[in-house]
């Protein structure tokens, strides 16, 4: 009879975006390394699949934009679901692990796995799943505890005997990305021993964006008072945001907006002295390459802070914290707007020039949840 110790082909389901997939990678590594010759397939959204080539734990990727997730475009029928069931059936997986945040329901994905005949099916679940899951962990979050997202997924796979010695985030950055970034930095005249700062001011959710005028003050202060070159990054849709920050700064800075793919952004962050960012994907990229982070952390949720990297997590405690909203329900954004630029500058200087804590595992904001 098949059990977890001899399951070779494992389907890992994480139907979210880049940062969520990255925070699941240590658990996938635990699955892969806990038995010989394991093959890990990740089923994720089209957005989440972008990071998969940089994650050494993953052998294969299946893209699936599930209709029970808010980011999936409305469609007229269930044809994609029947196609997905058939694809999974043909793959003949031995086991499936469904990774979710505690606000997500794993049962739709579990039902897909049940229909395809995957014999072992594991997930956190708030309610008894009966036959949909063969193994499940009663979900205690958020009623009795809140864990970091990385720890939550590590605990899930530990329930079936899978663990890993090194649970940090890791990336396999291709040489071509490192070489292109090195050439960019040489062209910009950056010296190898010169400290410099990356600022990534965008985020997919409006509720997680530090105000651009305050970013401009931070950048100007670091550039003028501490002689630190500033590189701003972002996607094409964030061009206007970065342009506005550069204009308000009033001092020279460098924009690499829409000039880097994901691997090149990771390579840039690996060389940077510091990242200043909202709580968004690049913060997790920086954690994976060991670059210190000043994380402007909107209190939309408590469990996605940088994992096991020197960092300062800045926020303003507010009565409406942990709202889980993409748009601020109070329309004031106080959890970020009330973080004074001087606090950001101070945190940056501490990380750049002071003795660092070797690892900061879980900032205090979780203790207040």
Q: What is the CATH number of the domain that holds 193?
A: 3.40.50.2000
pLDDT tens, residue by residue, 126-178: 999 999 999 999 999 988 888 999 999 999 999 999 999 999 999 999 999 99
Let me know the angle formed at the C-alpha of 155 by 134 and 81, rounded to the nearest 5 degrees: 45
Residue 195: per-residue pLDDT: 94
Q: Would the pLDDT of 5 be above 70?
A: yes
Please give the Cα distance from 31 to 35 (Å, whole number).
7
**286's tokens:** 């920086």
Query: Does residue 125 form part of some domain?
Result: yes
- Cα separations in angstroms, 246 against 213, 230, 279: 10, 10, 21
pLDDT on residue 261: 96
* 107 vs 304, more confident: 107
Higher pLDDT, residue 274 or 331: 274
Measure the CA–CA gap between 263 and 288, rounded to whole angstroms: 12
Q: Name the β-bridge partners of 121.
A: 96
Please give the average per-residue pLDDT across 63-70, as a whole number.
Answer: 89
pLDDT over threshold 60, residue 323: no
* Total domains, the chain: 2
Q: Per the omega criterion (within 30 degrees of 0), is the bond before 133 cis?
A: no
Q: pLDDT-derived band of residue 28, with 50, 70 and 90 as boundaries?
A: very high
pTM for this entry: 0.90
The per-residue pLDDT for 355 is 60
> How many whole angstroms separate alpha carbon 198 and alpha carbon 232?
6
- Tell me, yes or no, whether 46 lies in a domain: yes
Whether residue 21 is found in the same domain as residue 152 = yes
Query: Per residue in 189-212, pLDDT tens?
Result: 887 788 999 999 998 777 778 999
Considering the domain architecture, whether residues 129 and 248 belong to the same structural domain is answered as no
321 pLDDT tier (thresholds 50, 70, 90): low
Domain housing 74: 4-158
**If pLDDT is split at 50, 70 and 90, which confidence band does 325 have?**
low
Examine the pLDDT at 296 and tell me if it is beyond 90.
Answer: yes
* Mean per-residue pLDDT, 262-274: 97
Size of the chain in residues: 369
Bridge partners, residue 176, by sequence: none
Same domain, 190 and 321: yes
Q: Are residues 136 and 234 in the same domain?
A: no
| 247 vs 75, residue with greater confidence | 247
Structural domain includes residue 22: yes
End-to-end CA distance of the chain: 43
Residue 76: pLDDT band (50, 70, 90) is confident
Specify if 170 maps to a domain: no
Confidence (pLDDT) at 230: 97
150 with 213, same domain? no
What is the three-class DSSP state of 18?
A: helix
Check whether 233 has a pLDDT greater than 60.
yes
In a domain, 219, yes or no: yes
Contact (Cβ atoms closer than 8 angstroms) between residue 61 and residue 87: no
What would you report as the CA-atom Rg of the chain, rounded to the nearest whole angstrom? 21
Residue that terminates a domain, selected from 95, 126, 158: 158
- Could you tell me if 195 and 106 lie in one domain? no
**Does any domain span residue 109?**
yes
Same domain assignment for residues 254 and 341: yes
**Both 126 and 59 in a single domain?**
yes
Same domain, 260 and 313: yes
Check whether residue 179 and residue 279 sit in a common domain: yes
Give percent of the chain above pLDDT 70: 91
164 in a domain, yes or no?
Answer: no
Which of the four pLDDT bands, split at 50, 70 and 90, describes residue 316? confident
185: exposed, middle or buried (Cβ count in 10 Å: 0-12, 13-18, 19+): buried
My answer on whether 219 and 360 are in the same domain is yes
Model confidence at 75: pLDDT above 90: no
Are 195 and 130 in the same domain?
no
State mean pLDDT over 216-239. Answer: 96
Could you list the beta-strand ranges (E) of 73-119.
95-98
Asked if residue 167 belongs to a domain, the reply is: no
């Amino acid at each position: 009879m098949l059990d977890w110790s001899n399951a070779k082909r494992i389907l890992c389901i994480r139907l979210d975006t880049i940062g969520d997939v990255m925070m699941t990678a240590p658990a996938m590594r635990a699955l892969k390394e806990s038995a010989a010759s394991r093959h890990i397939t990740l089923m994720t959204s089209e957005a989440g699949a972008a990071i998969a080539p940089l994650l050494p734990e993953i052998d294969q990727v299946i893209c699936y934009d599930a209709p029970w997730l808010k980011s999936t475009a409305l469609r007229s029928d269930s044809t994609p679901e029947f196609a997905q069931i058939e694809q999974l059936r043909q793959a003949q997986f031995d086991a499936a692990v469904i990774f979710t945040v505690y606000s997500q329901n794993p049962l739709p994905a579990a039902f897909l796995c049940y229909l395809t005949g995957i014999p072992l099916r594991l997930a956190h679940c708030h309610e008894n799943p009966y036959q949909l899951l063969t193994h499940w962990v009663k979900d205690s979050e958020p009623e009795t505890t809140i864990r970091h997202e990385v720890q939550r997924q590590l605990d899930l796979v530990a329930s079936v005997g899978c663990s890993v010695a090194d649970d940090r985030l890791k990336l396999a950055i291709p040489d071509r990305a490192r070489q292109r970034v090195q050439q960019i930095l040489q062209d910009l005249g950056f010296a190898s021993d010169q400290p410099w700062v990356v600022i990534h001011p965008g985020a997919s959710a409006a509720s997680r964006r530090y105000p651009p005028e305050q970013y401009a003050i931070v950048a100007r202060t670091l550039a003028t008072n501490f002689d630190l070159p500033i590189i701003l990054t972002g996607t094409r849709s964030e061009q206007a945001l970065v342009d506005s920050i550069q204009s308000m700064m009033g001092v020279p800075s460098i924009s690499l907006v829409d000039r880097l793919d994901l691997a090149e952004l990771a390579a840039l962050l690996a060389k940077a002295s510091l990242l200043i960012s909202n709580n968004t994907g690049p913060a997790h990229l920086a954690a994976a390459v060991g670059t210190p982070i000043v994380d402007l952390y909107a209190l939309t949720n408590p469990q996605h802070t940088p994992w096991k990297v020197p960092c300062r997590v800045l926020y303003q405690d507010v009565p409406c914290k942990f709202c889980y909203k993409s748009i601020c329900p109070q329309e004031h954004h106080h959890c970020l707007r009330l973080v004074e630029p001087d606090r950001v500058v101070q945190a940056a200087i501490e990380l750049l020039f002071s003795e660092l804590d070797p690892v900061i595992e879980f900032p205090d904001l979780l203790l207040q949840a």
